[in-house]
């Protein structure tokens, strides 16, 4: 009896439906979609997507598609149980081309979360006196009108006394995000983004620290076995990988990653308080995706280039207002931001509908040591990474009867690996 072989890039697409805003007019466009991509990004607040359409039924004119429609797509990796669902608002139609016979045309539909469209229709004019998390939840529900779950991962300390005037909701959320300071994590690098599980407001350190123990089976590696037989393919193989950035000395030093000073200037009294950040003394407090992260800088490098501050910042505040904690956190934030912009990795893997931006995965990559030496794990590359960007890519073949599903990821870690 022949054994069942499940391709690792298989996908079960439940539906791709185009609807008008009232929901009264719906059309299954599964047969018209040639490919689609869905994008999640921890540095962008909403989900985006594009759909390549091969239109032989004049859908664009008969439906019609005029920017007042939604697209719902639902899919799941073969062998999984939980279906991933996205409901997106049509943003634009681009690149229309008729084929030679004139019988059909192709075009690209770009779409985004409905909250992004709502964001451009309203402004926030309101005074708040709450925690950052409560303000962001209030703006998301009252102004963006979202019904999606808002996940709060790392509750900031203090109360924000802030007047928001004539800013769009996402601009307002971004302002509050930048002002937020963590109770637990030194860097206070907060992000607000949407993935398949809803909206997320948290610090990067919280994600790395809490999800590094939940990698489970998400271990990806480079294996040459698939070159011998299609059946040797494994769902966790790296299809493509690129080390985008190992380090950038100029940026590291000029941004004050090793040593910086903040001058806290009181607008009421004129008093100036100096706050020093020295990386050699404080970097051990940062939390990264690895259990025992190895620093990017050697002790001798820190000693030679980190003895004097390379960046001096002046942060005004008013002592008659509640404490914001911003001046005390900004130095560490600059240093951490520089760290996570180094050692960046791009990877392409077989499709996995359970992956989302903000997850932590493990990469295992051997050193390239020729054919004679024993291969060992590459300490500069291998280890745990945070998914900072994720693209679900689906290519429909043979009218949709065959499909290829892959995921492309940008991965960040901010450290070297402790495993040698």
pLDDT digits 0-9 by tens, 39-57: 999 999 999 999 999 999 9
Statement to judge: residues 230 and 259 lie in one domain: no
Closest CA relative to residue 238, chosen from 149, 362, 379, 140: 362
Q: Which of 2-6, 11-15, 384-388 shows the lowest mean pLDDT across its residues?
A: 2-6
Identify whether the C-beta of residue 238 lies closer than 8 Å to the C-beta of residue 363.
Answer: yes
Q: Are residues 46 and 187 in the same domain?
A: no
Domain hosting residue 176, numbered range: 122-214
Q: What is the pLDDT of residue 369?
A: 60
What confidence tens digit (pLDDT) does each residue in 228-278 have? Answer: 444 444 668 888 888 887 777 888 888 889 999 999 999 999 999 999 999
Q: How far is residue 152 from each of residues 44, 94, 137, 226, 332, measured CA to CA in Å?
A: 17, 36, 9, 41, 22
For residues 291 and 239, the model is more confident at: 239
376 shares its domain with 391: yes
Q: Quick one: pLDDT at residue 204?
A: 96
Residue 77 and residue 176 in one domain: no
**305, 340, 375 — which closes off a domain?**
340
pLDDT surpasses 50 at 4: no
Instruction: Quickly state the pLDDT bin for 162 (edges 50, 70, 90).
Output: very high
Q: Between the CA atoms of 278, 279, 281 and 287, what dihedral angle is there, to the nearest 10 degrees?
A: 140
Higher pLDDT, 187 or 8: 187
Q: How far apart are CA 348 and CA 238, in angstroms?
A: 6
Domain match, 256 and 238 both: no
Q: Are residues 3 and 97 in the same domain?
A: yes
Residue 320 shares a structural domain with residue 192: no
Q: Is 211 helix (H, G, I), strand (E, B) or coil?
A: helix
Handedness of CA 82, 87, 93, 96 (dihedral sign): positive
With 60 as the cut, is the pLDDT of residue 328 above it?
Answer: yes
Give the pLDDT confidence score for residue 2 in this predicted structure.
41
Contact 205, 185 (CB under 8 A): yes
Which of the two residues, 182 and 372, has the higher pLDDT score?
182
Of all residues in the chain, the percent with pLDDT exceeding 70 is: 91
Same domain, 38 and 102: yes
* pLDDT tens per residue, range 80-120: 889 999 999 999 999 888 887 778 899 999 999 999 999 99
Question: Of 192, 214, 236, which residue is a domain's last?
Answer: 214
Report the pLDDT averaged over residues 394-417.
85
Q: To the nearest 5 percent, what fractions of the chain are helix, strand and coil?
A: 20, 40, 40
Residue 145 neighbours by CB under 8 Å, 6+ apart:
115, 118
Mean pLDDT check: name the lowest of 9-23, 326-340, 366-380.
366-380
Instruction: Give the CATH number, domain containing residue 210.
Output: 3.55.50
For residues 325-353, give the mean pLDDT. Answer: 91
Q: Of 340, 374, 398, which residue constitutes the final position of a domain?
A: 340
Tens of pLDDT, residue by residue over 276-287, are 999 999 999 999
Q: What is the H or E stretch that residue 137 is in? A: helix 132-142
What are the φ and ψ backbone dihedral angles of 384, each rounded to 5 degrees?
-85, 140
Average pLDDT, the chain: 88
The reported pTM is: 0.91
- In the structure, what pLDDT confidence band is assigned to residue 418 with cuts at 50, 70 and 90? low
* C-alpha dihedral sign at 336, 342, 343, 348: positive
User: Residue 129: pLDDT above 70?
Assistant: yes
Q: Which pLDDT band holds residue 296 (cuts at 50, 70, 90)? A: confident
User: In this structure, are 42 and 88 located in the same domain?
Assistant: yes
**Residues 262/383, Cβ–Cβ less than 8 Å:** no
Percent over 90 (pLDDT), the chain: 62
Q: What is the CATH number of the domain that holds 399?
A: 2.30.300.10
Q: Are residues 169 and 239 in the same domain?
A: no
Same domain, 419 and 366: yes
Q: What pLDDT does residue 420 have? A: 44
Give the dihedral of Cα atoms 313, 303, 420, 332; nearest 10 deg. Answer: -20
Count how many domains the chain has: 3
Taking the C-alpha atoms of residue 176 and residue 104, their distance in angstroms, rounded to an integer, is 48
Provide the pLDDT for residue 371: 55
Residues 3 and 95 in one domain: yes
Picking from 21-25, 222-226, 244-248, which range would have the lowest pLDDT averaged per residue?
222-226
């Amino acid at each position: 009896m022949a054994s069942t072989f499940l391709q690792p890039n298989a996908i079960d697409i439940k539906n791709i439906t185009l609807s008008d805003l009232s929901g009264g007019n719906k059309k299954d466009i599964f047969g018209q979609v040639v490919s689609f991509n869905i994008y999640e990004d921890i540095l962008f607040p909403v989900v985006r997507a594009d759909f390549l359409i091969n239109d032989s039924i004049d859908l664009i004119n008969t439906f019609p598609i005029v920017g007042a429609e939604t697209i719902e797509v639902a899919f799941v990796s073969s062998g999984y149980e939980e279906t991933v669902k996205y409901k997106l608002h049509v943003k634009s139609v681009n690149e229309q081309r008729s084929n030679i016979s004139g019988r059909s045309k192709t075009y690209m539909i770009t779409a985004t979360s409905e909250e992004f469209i709502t964001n451009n229709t309203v402004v926030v004019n309101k005074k708040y006196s709450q925690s950052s998390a409560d303000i962001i939840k209030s703006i998301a529900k009252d102004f963006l009108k979202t019904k999606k779950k808002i996940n709060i991962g790392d509750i900031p300390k203090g109360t924000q006394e802030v007047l928001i005037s004539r800013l769009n909701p996402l601009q307002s959320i971004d302002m509050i995000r930048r002002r937020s300071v963590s109770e637990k994590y030194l860097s206070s690098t907060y992000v607000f983004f949407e993935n398949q599980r809803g909206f997320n407001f948290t610090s990067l350190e919280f994600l790395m620290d809490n999800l590094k123990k939940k990698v489970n089976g998400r271990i990806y590696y480079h294996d040459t076995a698939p070159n011998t037989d299609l059946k040797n393919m494994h769902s966790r193989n790296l299809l493509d990988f690129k080390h985008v950035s190992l380090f950038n000395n100029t940026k590291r030093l000029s941004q004050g990653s090793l040593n910086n000073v903040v001058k806290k200037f009181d607008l009421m009294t004129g008093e100036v308080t100096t706050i020093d950040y020295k990386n050699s003394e404080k970097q051990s407090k940062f939390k990264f995706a690895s259990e025992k992260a190895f620093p990017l800088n050697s002790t001798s490098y820190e000693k030679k280039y980190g003895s004097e501050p390379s960046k001096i910042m002046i942060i005004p505040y008013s002592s008659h207002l509640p404490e914001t904690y911003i001046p005390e956190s900004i130095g560490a934030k600059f240093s951490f931001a520089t760290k996570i912009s180094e050692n960046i990795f791009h990877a392409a893997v077989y499709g996995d509908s359970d992956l989302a931006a903000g997850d932590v995965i493990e990469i295992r990559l051997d050193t390239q040591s020729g054919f004679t030496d024993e291969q060992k794990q590459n300490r500069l590359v291998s280890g745990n990474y945070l998914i900072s960007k994720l693209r679900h890519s689906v290519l429909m073949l043979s009218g949709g009867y065959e499909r290829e599903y892959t995921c492309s990821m940008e991965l960040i870690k901010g450290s070297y690996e402790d495993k040698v």
